[in-house]
Amino acid sequence: MSRNKTGGLAGVVAGRTEICTVGKEGAGLTYRGYDIGDLVDNACFEEVAYLLHHGRLPGARELAAYREKLASLRALPGALRQTLEAIPADTHPMDVMRTGCSVLGNLEPEGDFAAQRDVADRLLAAFPSIVMYWHRFHADGKRIETATDDDSVAGHFLHMLHDAPPGELHRRTLDISLILYAEHEFNASTFTARVTAATLSDFHSAITGAIGALRGPLHGGANEAAMELIERFDSPQAAAIGVREMLARRELIMGFGHRVYTRSDPRNSVNKRMSKRLAEEAGDDRLYRVSEAIEQVMWDEKKLFANADFYSASMYHFMGIPTYLFTPIFVCSRITGWSAHVFEQRADNKLIRPAAEYTGPRLQTWAPLSARV
Ligand code: COA
């Protein structure tokens, strides 16, 4: 794979935001001024979603009403369920989510931008239903009821997956993971959403494009690629040897490195702790230790640290979540950040249309067809 060392808009300030800081001196990762550590220790995901959307924490009554509203928006229209049933079983679920979002935009078009908060809430509530309805229909031949009465997004997701409400350890672990993935400033998918919103296009188009950007292994798809890597090795020793060989072949190790963070990803220590806890619960003696071995080699050989996608892979695995559903979980969370950015873009909009440095041929003389070889 060839990589452009100077491009990719690295370090370019492409706009202003009040939503999030990533790796800023003295601030680290913050949502609306709250440190990610405080949010993980104290908040639930719905509180964080509200914070991102409204710019302030909800009061107790507002939070209860918000949970109720989200729970009331989980049912899918018949036409969308039919579409999900028609999508082939071997489709990647990220493509299912992209289609699901777009179809919802046909069935429930945004219309007036004044309704944008309702569209954001509908997508937040419906994304777990979309991916899980498709998954259960094709994996188990079941038409599941997506309108469960779970009081959290995490509980709703795991309930539909396993046909039973989850235990508190798994529910809260996924809840924290959703908090960690919720927002990350001008990453590729968020920027995609903002570029689309800046043309005054509709909400569903902005989010559909963002899902497409998140799908790639250099962005959200890294958690699935990381799991595939970890599962390849039988022991920490085999992992250390295998990863050194991959590095010698100049292969990318998914789940490591970051465009903005230079020393560590603040989300990683939380994920690592949760993965360890679930490994103990599952009696796992391999995957967690293999993960640690890979992390050590990456540090020793390249001074590269694990990002948010590395330990979330084994963590999801220990909860019985199939690997191909890992990146869709990212969507179920990041829809909150994307929505906040669409609101912000629309509130002070300017078409996003940068310039390019031209490197093509000089002006050419037109040759008629008869004169060409
Ligand atoms: N494995 C192996 N080498 C890596 C690496 C990785 N995961 N990430 C970066 N590097 C190396 C590159 O090969 C490059 O080395 P070189 O200068 O000898 O060519 C150097 O580190 C700089 O990497 P570069 O790709 O230019 O950095 P970037 O800022 O453009 O890329 C990422 C950032 C995240 C895209 C990159 O680290 C990556 O591809 N990581 C794996 C995918 C991933 O985990 N994505 C999720 C991000 S949250």
Least confident of 168-172, 217-221, 337-341: 217-221
Q: How far is CA 99 from CA 10, 84, 152, 218, in A?
A: 31, 9, 24, 21
Residue 309 falls in the annotated catalytic set: yes
| 332 Cβ contact partners less than 8 Å away, ≥ 6 residues apart | 124, 127, 128, 131, 153, 157, 178
pLDDT one-digit tens code per residue, 202-217? 999 999 999 999 999 9
Contacts of 143 (CB under 8 A, 6+ apart): 81, 133, 136, 137
Instruction: Supply 123's token pair.
Output: 């997508």
Q: What is the pLDDT of residue 69?
A: 98
Spacing, Cα 259 to ligand 1 middle (Å): 8
CB within 6 Å of ligand 1 — which residues? 3, 5, 8, 10, 218-219, 222, 252-259, 302, 304, 307-309
CA angle 120, 126, 130 (to 5 degrees): 135
Coil, strand or helix at 23: strand
Closest CA to ligand 1's atom 35: 218
Whether 181 and 308 have beta carbons less than 8 Å apart is answered as yes
CA-nearest residue for atom 37, ligand 1, is: 257
Mean of the per-residue pLDDT values for the chain? 96
Of ligand 1's listed atoms, the one at least distance from the Cα of 251 is 2
Q: Identify the active-site residue in 92, 95, 219, 284.
A: 219
Confidence check: pLDDT of 27 > 90: no
* 219 in active site: yes
Stretch 28-46: mean pLDDT: 96
Q: Among the residues of the chain, which ranges form H helices?
A: 36-42, 45-54, 60-71, 78-86, 93-107, 116-140, 153-162, 168-181, 188-198, 203-214, 222-231, 236-248, 266-282, 287-302, 308-318, 326-347
Yes or no: say if 32 and 18 are a contact pair by the CB < 8 Å rule.
yes
Banded model confidence at residue 1, pLDDT cuts 50, 70, 90: very low
Percent of the chain with pLDDT over 70: 98
Q: Which of 258, 265, 317, 341 is catalytic?
A: 258
Residues 6+ apart with CB under 8 A from 327: 93, 94, 214, 215, 220, 221, 223, 224
Q: Which residue has the higher pLDDT, 6 or 10?
A: 10
Please give the average per-residue pLDDT across 331-336, as a whole number: 98
> Hey, which of 1, 2, 3 would you mutate to test ligand 1's pocket, going by the most ligand atoms within 8 Å of its Cβ?
3
pLDDT confidence of 373, banded at 50, 70, 90? confident
pLDDT > 90? residue 171: yes
**What ligand 1 atom has the least distance to the C-alpha of 256?**
7
**Cβ-proximal residues to 96 (8 Å cutoff; 6+ apart), any chain:** 84, 87, 130, 131, 134, 328
Task: Please give the full DSSP string across 68-131, using - where no structure is assigned.
Answer: HHHHTT----HHHHHHHHHS-TTS-HHHHHHHHHHHHHHHS---SGGGHHHHHHHHHHHHHHHH
pLDDT value at 4 more than 70: no
Question: Residue with structure tokens 């509530």?
Answer: 125
Q: Are 179 and 43 in contact (CB under 8 A)?
A: yes
pLDDT at 135 over 70: yes
| Integer Cα distance of 28 and 5 in angstroms | 25
**CA distance linking residue 84 with residue 172, whole number of Å:** 29
pLDDT of residue 5 exceeding 90: no
Q: For residues 271 and 237, what is the distance between their CA atoms, to the nearest angstrom?
A: 23
Q: Is the pLDDT of residue 2 over 80?
A: no
- Residue 372 pLDDT exceeds 70: yes
At 145, the pLDDT band (50, 70, 90 cuts) reads very high
Q: Report pTM.
A: 0.95
**pLDDT digits over 279-323, tens only?**
999 999 899 999 999 999 999 999 999 999 999 999 999 999 999
* Structural domains present in the chain: 20-217+323-347 (1.10.580.10), 222-318 (1.10.230.10)
**255 CA → ligand 1 middle, Å:** 9
From 258, 297, 299, the mutation candidate for ligand 1 (largest count of ligand atoms within 8 A of CB) is 258
Active site residue 54: no
∠ CA 210-92-187, nearest 5°, is 25
For ligand 1, atom 15, name the residue with the nearest CA.
250
